[in-house]
Chains A and B, each alone.
Chain A
C-alpha cells in the first residue's frame, strides 16, 4: 500500500534530515518505527502527511488508491488525508472556537465528498461518534469542547485516536501516541488501535521505546537512526532495542 524509495528530505533551506529511507507497508500490517530522539521519525511522518515546512530533495513515495499506486508527494496535505493517510500528531494542535464535533464532522464530510460519498447528517454522526468514543474509552463531554484546547497531554493523544477511529484511514501513522498516556489509558488506547486494525488498512507506530508495543505486537519493526533505516526485523527487534539500547543497533548495523 505504501512504498517509500530513497526518500530524502529537509526543512526548507535547512540541513538534510531524512537521508534515504526505504520502507514498504502492505495492507493488514502493523509496523513499528523506533529510533532515538532526533533521528527523524516525526520528520518522516510529517513529510508523508504533506507538511509545508519540509522539502523533499530526493526519492519517491507511492501510495495505493483503489489499488492504483499514486505519487503521494504530488498531493496536497488534504488530498492525502482524503486518500486515506492519517497522522496522529506527536504534539496535537489546539484549535480555539471549534468544537470537536464540528471539526470531526467537517473532516468526515470533506473525506466523504472527496471519495464521492454522500455527507452524513448530524444525527447519524452522533451515533457514529458514540460508538467510537466507547471504543477508546473517552467521555462524551470532550465532544463539545474546543479541539484539544486545555486538554491534558494524555487527553490530546486520546483525541487523536478518536479522530483516527472516526475518519477510518487506510494508513494510520501514530507519532509517539504512547508518550503522555498513563498506564491505564495506554492499555485502553492500544486495545482501540488493535480493534481498528483490519486486513484492509495498515498502521505505522512511531515510538522511541517499547511501551505501546507491549500491547500491540507489530509485524515488522524498523530502527531509524540519523535519517536512515538501519535495521528491520520482527517484534523481537523491539525487545532487543529495549534491553540493549540503540548503540547496539548502530554497532550491529
Chain B
C-alpha cells in the first residue's frame, strides 16, 4: 500500500494494492481488440461484435454536449486491459485467489472468504479488468439463477449472451457505447429464469487499481417472465493525480411481469480540491421493459468521480410497464455531474417516475438532464418528475434540463422542481436545539434525500447516508 497520508482524508478507499499486473500496451487498435478477445478465449461472435463496434467508433468524434468541461481525452494514452498476474490462469475457486486481492476487498468492506461473506448478498468482485470471484454461486444455481462474471458467462452461456447482448444498447448507440463494446473487459451477468424470485441481493463491486488504465465493464441482467431480482453496484478507485476513464455499459431486459431493481452507490475518487485527478465516469445504462407489466427501477447515489455523465434509462415497450429513476447526485470540490434519465413510453398505459436530488457543494457543477418521450401509440402514458437541487455554499452551480417529447394527446405529465440552500442560519437553528453539526447535516441530507434512500436495500441505504454525510461535512464544516 502506498503512502497517501497527505491526500484527501475523507476518501478512505484511496489506497493502491501492490500486485503484479499484466497490462496491454497503451493505445487502441484492431489488434488490441483482438488481443482482449483472445485473452478471454471468447467465441467468434463476440470478437465480431467487438470489431463491428470498433470500426464504427474509429470514425466517430467524442460528443461534447454535456454541461461539463474537460480536456480532450487521448484514447491512445490508455491501457485497455489490466489484470493481476495471479489471475492469469483463472483460479478455480475463491480459495485459489491471491490473498492480496482478497485483502483489498476486505478493506473495502466486501469480504469474499466463505466464513465472512455477507449473508444476504451475493458479490461479484471485479478488480481492474477481471472478476476475482463471485460468492454464493451454488445457492443461486440451485434456483437456476446465473450470477457470474461476464467472461465466465461468455464461456458457459454463450447462447444467452448472443441472444441479449447489445439488444438494449446497440454497439453503435453512441461514442462511448461503441468504445465499451469494442474493449469491454469484465462485469457481471445475471439471468433469472421464468418465475424465479431471486432470494438474495446480487451485487458487483468494481475496483480500479492499475494506473493509466481504463475500466470498461459490461453488465447484462435478464429477467424472464415473472422473475425478479435486486442488484447493487458499488465502486471505488485509488487517489491519483491523473484522470482515469470508466466507460461502462449496463443493459437490463425484463420480460412479461418481470421486475429488476438496480441500485448504484458510486464513490469513485472525485479529485482533490483543485480538481486534480479523479475518475471520468461515462456510463450508458439502459433497461428495456420488453414484456407486459414489467418493471425496471434505477436507484443511484452518485457521490464520487471527477465527472459523472450518465442517464440510466428505461424503454417502456410492454403494455402497463413501469419505469422508475431515483437519484441522489452529490458533487463537491470541483466535481462535475451531468446526470438524469430517459423514459421512453411505447406500450399502452405505461408509467414512469423520476425523483432526482442534486446536492452541489464548493466549486462543483451539478446538472439534471432528463427526457420524457411519449410515442404516438403510447396511450394512457403517465410520468411524474420531481427534480430538487440543494446548494451548499456560494461557488457551486445547479441546473435542470428537462426535455419533453409528447406525441400522444392523452399523456399525463407532471413536473416539479425546487432549489434550496443549506444556510448557516439553518445549521445554527438545528445546533441550538442540541444537534452537533454532524447530526444537523445528517438530518438535513436525510430529509432532502429520503424519497431516494427509501428505495435502496437497507444496508446500502445506511452506507449511502454515511457516505453523503462524510462528503458534506468537509464542505460545510
Q: Which residues of A contact B437 (CB under 8 A)?
A: 78
* Interface residue from A76, A102, A108 paired with B431 (Cβ < 8 Å): A76
Q: Which residues of B contact A108 (CB under 8 A)?
A: 434
Chain A positions 47 through 66: 1 when the CB is less than 8 Å from some CB of chain B, otherwise 0: 00111110000000000000
Is B45 located at the chain interface by the 8 A CB criterion?
A: no
Query: In the complex the two chains form, what is the Cα distance from A97 to B430 in whole Å?
Result: 13
* Interface residue from B426, B434, B444, B448 paired with A81 (Cβ < 8 Å): B434
A98:B444 contact, CB within 8 angstroms: yes
Within 8 A of B (CB), among A96-131: 96-99, 102-103, 106-108, 110-111, 114
Among B420, B430, B437, B440, the most chain A Cβ lie within 10 Å of the Cβ of B430
* Interface residue from B424, B436, B444, B450 paired with A78 (Cβ < 8 Å): B436
Q: Which residues of A contact B432 (CB under 8 A)?
A: 49-50, 77-78, 80-81, 86-87, 89
A106:B429 contact, CB within 8 angstroms: no
B447:A95 contact, CB within 8 angstroms: yes
Query: In the complex the two chains form, what is the Cα distance from A52 to B427 in whole Å?
Result: 10
Query: In the complex the two chains form, what is the Cα distance from A80 to B443 in whole Å?
Result: 19
Is B439 located at the chain interface by the 8 A CB criterion?
A: yes
Query: In the complex the two chains form, what is the Cα distance from A77 to B429 in whole Å?
Result: 9
* Interface residue from B418, B425, B439 paired with A110 (Cβ < 8 Å): B439
A95:B424 contact, CB within 8 angstroms: no
Query: In the complex the two chains form, what is the Cα distance from A103 to B442 in whole Å?
Result: 11
B448:A95 contact, CB within 8 angstroms: no
Is B433 located at the chain interface by the 8 A CB criterion?
A: yes
* Interface residue from B424, B429, B444 paired with A89 (Cβ < 8 Å): B429
B443:A106 contact, CB within 8 angstroms: yes
Query: In the complex the two chains form, what is the Cα distance from A126 to B341 in whole Å?
Result: 40
Is B97 located at the chain interface by the 8 A CB criterion?
A: no
On whether A107 and B429 interact (CB within 8 A), knowing A98-B443, A98-B444, A98-B447, the answer reads no
Query: In the complex the two chains form, what is the Cα distance from A163 to B429 in whole Å?
Result: 12
- Tell me how many residues of A have a C-beta within 8 Å of chain B: 33
Shortest CB-to-CB span from B330 to chain A, Å, is 15
Is A92 located at the chain interface by the 8 A CB criterion?
A: yes
Q: Which residues of A contact B430 (CB under 8 A)?
A: 95, 103, 107
Shortest CB-to-CB span from A157 to chain B, Å, is 14
- Tell me how many residues of B have a C-beta within 8 Å of chain A: 24
Query: In the complex the two chains form, what is the Cα distance from A58 to B429 in whole Å?
Result: 25
On whether A110 and B429 interact (CB within 8 A), knowing A95-B444, A97-B450, the answer reads no
Q: Which residues of B contact A81 (CB under 8 A)?
A: 431-434
Shortest CB-to-CB span from B1 to chain A, Å, is 36
Within 8 A of A (CB), among B205-226: none
Q: Which residues of A contact B450 (CB under 8 A)?
A: 97
Query: In the complex the two chains form, what is the Cα distance from A96 to B421 in whole Å?
Result: 10
Shortest CB-to-CB span from B416 to chain A, Å, is 13
A167:B444 contact, CB within 8 angstroms: no
Is B153 located at the chain interface by the 8 A CB criterion?
A: no
Is A44 located at the chain interface by the 8 A CB criterion?
A: no
Within 8 A of A (CB), among B430-460: 430-437, 439-440, 443-444, 446-448, 450
* Interface residue from A51, A52, A86, A97 paired with B447 (Cβ < 8 Å): A97
Query: In the complex the two chains form, what is the Cα distance from A114 to B426 in whole Å?
Result: 21
Shortest CB-to-CB span from A226 to chain B, Å, is 25
Q: Which residues of A contact B440 (CB under 8 A)?
A: 78
Q: Which residues of A contact B424 (CB under 8 A)?
A: 52-53
Q: Which residues of A contact B435 (CB under 8 A)?
A: 78, 106-107, 110
Q: Which residues of A contact B428 (CB under 8 A)?
A: 49, 51-52, 77, 93
Q: Which residues of A contact B443 (CB under 8 A)?
A: 98, 102-103, 106
Shortest CB-to-CB span from A93 to chain B, Å, is 4
B433:A167 contact, CB within 8 angstroms: yes
On whether A107 and B433 interact (CB within 8 A), knowing A95-B444, A98-B443, A98-B444, the answer reads yes
Shortest CB-to-CB span from A156 to chain B, Å, is 11
Q: Which residues of B contact A223 (CB under 8 A)?
A: none
Q: Which residues of A contact B420 (CB under 8 A)?
A: 96
B433:A163 contact, CB within 8 angstroms: yes
* Interface residue from A80, A92, A97, A146 paired with B429 (Cβ < 8 Å): A92
Shortest CB-to-CB span from B358 to chain A, Å, is 14
Chain A positions 165 through 179: 1 when the CB is less than 8 Å from some CB of chain B, otherwise 0: 001000000000000
Among B420, B428, B440, B448, the most chain A Cβ lie within 10 Å of the Cβ of B428
Given A78-B432, A95-B444, A110-B434, 15 other A-B contacts at CB below 8 A?
A: A76-B431, A76-B436, A77-B428, A78-B431, A78-B433, A78-B435, A81-B433, A81-B434, A86-B432, A94-B426, A95-B447, A96-B418, A102-B443, A108-B434, A110-B433
26 A-B residue contacts at CB 8 Å? A50-B431, A52-B424, A53-B424, A77-B428, A78-B435, A78-B439, A78-B440, A81-B431, A81-B434, A87-B432, A89-B429, A93-B425, A93-B426, A93-B429, A94-B426, A95-B429, A95-B430, A96-B448, A97-B447, A97-B450, A98-B444, A98-B446, A103-B430, A103-B443, A110-B434, A167-B434
Closest 4 A-B residue pairs measured CB to CB? Answer: A97-B447, A98-B447, A107-B433, A81-B434
Which B residues have a C-beta under 8 Å from some C-beta of A? 418, 420, 423-426, 428-437, 439-440, 443-444, 446-448, 450
